[in-house]
Structure 1
Amino acid sequence: MSNSPNVLALSGGVGGAKLALGLSLSLPVSALSIVANTADDFLHLGLPISPDLDTVMYTLAGLNNREQGWGLAGESWHCMTAVERLGGPSWFRLGDQDIATHLMRLNGLQQGHSLTQVTENLCQQLDVDHQLLPMCDEAVRTYVQCAPDNHHDTTYELPFQSYFVEQQCKPAVTGFRFEGIERAVISPAVASAIENADIMVVCPSNPFVSIAPILGVPGLKQRVLDNISTRVVVSPIVGGIAIKGPAAKMMAELDMPRTPLAVAEYYQGFASHFVLDTCDECFVDDILALDMQVLVTNTVMNSLEDRKELADTILRWIQASG
């Protein structure tokens, strides 16, 4: 679009990647940087897996499996079939093409390159022109704190991927812990993206396990507050449900109403602008009372056109509101 502002987008996985793609279709390469959550990262079969980072990367490259939202289109599973036959763990399935990404990431990291540098190289190879950055280069790992159940007498913790994939989000959540977050450092690339941005857009992603760790990198949230006056949050909750992922379930278990208002309250003091779906228009006045400007529009992105239209609508709204 003409007179494009510089935009910094924060994204989790599938839901966030949709709007990140829309923004990439609306903005020139020089005007968009995307910071992806890496607290979901983990080692599996000796390979460094970055689920959210890869979901955004594959989506920007036009290579993602659009039906399931994650992974690659046209994937095959010969390696995992062989792993299972050999008695290896098969609960987290890696496609044959996807394994190549993780092997190249491992190779780059072993050569001493940072995760930021490795991600830049992978994006170049996949013709992803817009800047995609990990939230930091240090290892941060999400642990989900779970309520006692039939197998546990007290509160217990699960690594995020065990909770999300292996347990299919079934345990009741009581909180979250980001191991290693205190050692994380704002990378020069992320610092530059913040300093150059006119607008921050928090793509529709899980507030607790996708966006919280990004903003939890020491000093990052304050740097955003100091440098970017327009901070837009797009609600991941539409009509009481999360379009993708366990955000709504987590909110219920944390005794939060499953509403965009509750999301807005979570971001109060950080968000200056809030975007909610037309079906949730009844919450406008309450969100306005939180000292946020509010946009009501279609936020459900079923098609490529939906993704670009939402991005265009947000950018036009911001420019019109000054």
Structure 2
Amino acid sequence: MKILLLSGGVGGAKMAEGLYHSEYGNELSVIGNVADDMLFHGLWVSPDIDTLTYTLADLIDTKKGWGLKDETTNTLEALERLGCDTWMYLGDKDFATHIYRTQQKQSGIRPSVIAKHIAKQLGVTANILLPTDQVIQNRIHTEQGWLDFQSYFVKKGCQPEILDIFVSGIEDAQPTPESLKAINEADLIIIAPSNPIVSINPIVNVPGIRAALKSSKAPVVAVSPMINGKTVKGPADRMMAAMNFSSDVLGVANCYQGLIDGFVIDIEDQQFTSVLEASGLKVMVAQTLMKNRIDKVSLAENVVAEMSTKFGLKCGTQLAEEV
């Protein structure tokens, strides 16, 4: 069974890890968010793609949820001594990834090819895909003016009030052939519990991606990042409110209106089941908070199994039983 996951960074990587280590890991593809990518110290950094790759390679710093484990910061400290602005944390081993990516980009290699090579060299067998090879970037409008996502999220600590959000460059972006192929061939498409506004929308709003998702034979199922009106981590609730969506599962469903066929919500939000089902969605209630790998794999396998039943699909377990 071919599973396609649309994912942001830290939260989405948990779902990706669960699927990767489940019985469906051999047929997993992940389209990651590239709208948070930026240039730091002359190097092109792709935070969400790296988080996904490091997570699946078992190299992630599990305490932070991003970056490489057992890191040192000698390079960053040396840059600071030279007077560089070093608010963006980059570890010494992590720098190698960004150096390689930048060198390859300057040689004219497509970012999708670069991402695939990095993942392969780190031992990742899942297909890490980019929605576009063009540069698209989240922009956050605050009272201090327009900020790129990393300046808002890291440098400003998510403190400024959000007035508006848009993705620069997305109107002229083109979908990668790899992403369109994965959408067309998928048996089930899952939207990870990532930030709908700055992680998922920049993927689905690349021209051609949304249309491909709608025309795909595969049902599209979203896992809510909201639990009891709150996010596990990050500013998704404030961003939802800034874009006129309620900061709860109903707001997430409205954000994905016309795109999703199924919705996975936490047991703390089960009171919304009837309302969501009345809107035409197939709803699954589960424990969606993932604290360890057992939780991640359990949620992933339960989502695939239950949603396969609801949509009349045959998942790996069902096929094995028939054989």
Secondary structure in structure 2 of the residue aligned to 1:269? coil
Could you state the TM-score of these two structures normalised by the residue count of structure 1?
0.94
After TM superposition, list the pairs within 5 Å mapping 1:1-322 onto structure 2.
Answer: 5-28=1-24, 30-146=26-142, 148=143, 152=144, 156-321=145-310, 322=312
Question: 1: distance between equivalents of 2:182 and 2:48?
Answer: 19
Please say if residues 57 and 123 of structure 1, whose CA atoms lie closer than 8 Å, have aligned partners that are also in contact.
Answer: yes
Contact 1:265–1:290 under 8 Å retained in 2: no
TM-superposed deviation, 1:28: 4.6
CA shift at 1:253, angstroms? 4.0
Stretch deviating more after TM superposition (192-201 or 21-30) = 21-30
* Whole-angstrom distance in 2 between the partners of 1:316 and 1:36: 23
Counterparts of 1:116 and 1:244 in 2: how far apart (Å)?
28
State the Cα distance separating 1:162 from its structure 2 match: 0.6
Is the 1:298–1:310 contact (alpha carbons within 8 Å) kept by the matching residues of 2?
yes
Q: Structure 1 residue runs of 4+, over 4 Å off? A: 27-30
The structural deviation recorded for 1:30 is 4.8
Change (3 A) 1:106 1:197: same
Query: In 1, Cα distance between the equivalents of 2:239 and 2:292?
Result: 27
**Residues 260, 276 of structure 1: 8 Å contact kept:** yes
Letter in 1 for 2:187: D
* Paired residues of 1:268 and 1:290 also in contact (CA < 8 A): no
* 2:56 maps to amino acid: L
Is the contact between residue 80 and residue 90 of structure 1 (CA under 8 Å) also seen in structure 2?
yes
Distance 1:229 1:289 in 2: 21
Residue aligning to 2:317: none
Asked if the contact 1:206–1:247 (Cα under 8 Å) also holds between the matched residues in 2, the reply is yes
Work out the CA distance in 2 between the residues paired with 1:134 and 1:233: 19
CA contact (8 A) 1:144 1:175 kept: yes
Q: 1:27 deviation in Å?
A: 4.2
User: What is the SS of the residue equivalent to 2:175?
Assistant: coil
In the alignment, the residues of structure 1 paired with residue 187 and residue 218 of structure 2 have an alpha-carbon distance, to the nearest angstrom, of 8
Contact 2:112/2:130 (<8 A) preserved: yes
What is the rounded CA distance, in whole Å, between the counterparts of 2:29 and 2:23 in structure 1? Answer: 10
**TM-score, normalised on structure 2?**
0.93
Q: Deviations along 1:123-179, whole A, 9 cap, x unmatched?
A: 111000010011211111110122x3xxx5xxx211111111101111111221211
Question: Is the partner of 2:66 in helix, strand or coil?
Answer: coil
Show CA shifts across 1:200-248 (max 9, x none): 1000000000000101110110111001441000000112211121101
Equivalent-residue separation in structure 2 for 1:246 and 1:134 (angstroms): 23
Residues 39 and 178 in structure 1, CA contact (< 8 A), matched pair in contact too: yes
1:26 is paired with a residue whose SS is coil
Q: Do the aligned partners of residues 207 and 77 (structure 1) sit closer, same or farther apart at CA in structure 2, a change above 3 Å counting?
A: same
Identity of aligned residues (%): 39
Q: How many equivalent pairs are there? A: 311
- C-alpha contact 1:29 1:131 (8 A) present in aligned 2: no
Shift of 1:29: 5.2
Show CA shifts across 1:248-302 (max 9, x none).
1223444533211111121121110000111111111111122100000000000
Matches of 2:178 and 2:80, distance apart in 1: 40
**Counterparts of 1:251 and 1:34, CA distance in 2:** 24
Query: What SS does structure 1 have at the residue aligned with 2:21?
Result: helix
CA distance in 1, matches of 2:154, 2:183: 32
Q: Distance in 1 between matches of 2:171 and 2:133?
A: 13
Distance in 2 of aligned mates of 1:254 and 1:103: 36
Q: 224-233 vs 91-100, which deviates more?
A: 224-233
Distance 1:63 1:69 in 2: 11
- Letter of the 1:311 counterpart: A
CA distance, structure 2, for counterparts of residue 79 and residue 276 of structure 1:
43
